[in-house]
Chains A and B, each alone.
Chain A
Amino acid sequence: MARRRSRRPGSMWRSTLLACLALGAASAVAQDARKSGFAYMGPDTQAMQKDDLANPGMLSALDGEALWNAPAGASGKSCASCHGDATASMKGVAARYPAYEATHNAPVDLAGRINLCREGNQQAPALPRESREAIGLATYIGQQSRGLSIAPPDDPRLTPFHEQGKALYTQRMGQLNFSCAQCHDENAGGHLGAAPIPQAHPTGYPLYRLEWQATGSLQRRFRNCMAGVRAEPYSYGSPEFIALELYLMDRAKGMAVETPAVRP
């Protein structure tokens, strides 16, 4: 049996939204009631995520593994030349990003950290965000934290960025004038048309989204939600997205990494 294309394109999500401005009953997400998006999926999609030989996100992890070992740039070095076996050296790394980068006086996300090594250490051009290569490496590195707890760095330099992320998360935006929190805190567990509203935990990224028919980043997901409320999405790697990512990782502290997850 072959999979069919998703019948739920993004444009429908948007029109459903217009029709459903009255969302379900309010229920703030208590710390101990946290649930991964996995819990809101149907059994078929859960089975796809759980089986490494059916989970298409594993194809991106394989891309990443090949790149990890391939020499690139003027240095002629591969990631492995310096970092060795990723299953040891990259264990737990994705679980503690974004992290503060002193040379930037700002946090960097994992994709940004990989590009710092591409440019600075490998002397190779930065990988474009969301390219097959960039997603592959981030997926392969993320996979090395699978099952480990999200453990944001305890770094006071990150506090102002956490606060910025929280402000963005609770700020109304777009023509439909919704904040992330209105859906993901106040109406988590409810529905938006046919789609269950998850609590927006960043546990599975990069992940394979059936609607994308591809593996994509957390920031791609943010852009979908922003377009859904008809807001102008921030760009990939923008300080706003890194702050949002930081806030969501803090909010999901202790939850298990699922990379590469599958989502509808």
Chain B
Amino acid sequence: MAARALINIPKGAKRGDIVEIKTLLSHPMETGFRTGADGQLVPRDIIEKFVCTYNGEVVFSAELHPAIAANPFISFTTIAMDSGTFVFAWTDNHGETQVQTARIDVA
């Protein structure tokens, strides 16, 4: 089944407002250090990079490591500038990227 993401941003804001953004991605964050029932190492499967752009400009990014829990929850703030789109991208250690977008209307 596909990974799922929950994104919480205010729908509207005034220019200059500090807005809080919360993201929650369904992901096992399998460390690569654990053994399965068969005694073999369970292959690593983690998100390594998270990037958020706002109208094309990076406003937040983070590197994730095996010590981060499953279903990573990342929250941060930015300043509302113009109406437009936030793009959220999570990239795993296999190089695959999952993208989600959200709109904000700035008055």
Chain A residues with CB under 8 Å of chain B are 1-6, 51-54, 56, 58-59, 62-63, 66, 132-133, 136, 210, 213-214
* Chain B contact residue count (CB 8 A cutoff): 22
Residues A2 and B64 in contact, CB atoms below 8 Å apart: yes
A144 to B99, CA, bound (A): 29
| CB neighbours of A136 from chain B (8 A) | 1
Residues B4 and A3 in contact, CB atoms below 8 Å apart: no
Q: Is B6 an interface residue (CB 8 A)?
A: yes
Known A-B contacts A53-B6, A213-B69; the reply to A59 vs B74 at CB < 8 A is no
Number of A-B contacts (CB under 8 A): 60
Shortest B103–chain A CB gap in Å is 16
A51 to B64, CA, bound (A): 24
Residues B6 and A2 in contact, CB atoms below 8 Å apart: no
Known A-B contacts A2-B62, A63-B4; the reply to A53 vs B70 at CB < 8 A is no
Shortest A64–chain B CB gap in Å is 11
Residues A56 and B1 in contact, CB atoms below 8 Å apart: no
Q: Is B75 an interface residue (CB 8 A)?
A: yes
Residues A2 and B24 in contact, CB atoms below 8 Å apart: no
Residues B69 and A6 in contact, CB atoms below 8 Å apart: yes
Shortest A262–chain B CB gap in Å is 11
Residues A2 and B72 in contact, CB atoms below 8 Å apart: yes
Residues B73 and A213 in contact, CB atoms below 8 Å apart: no
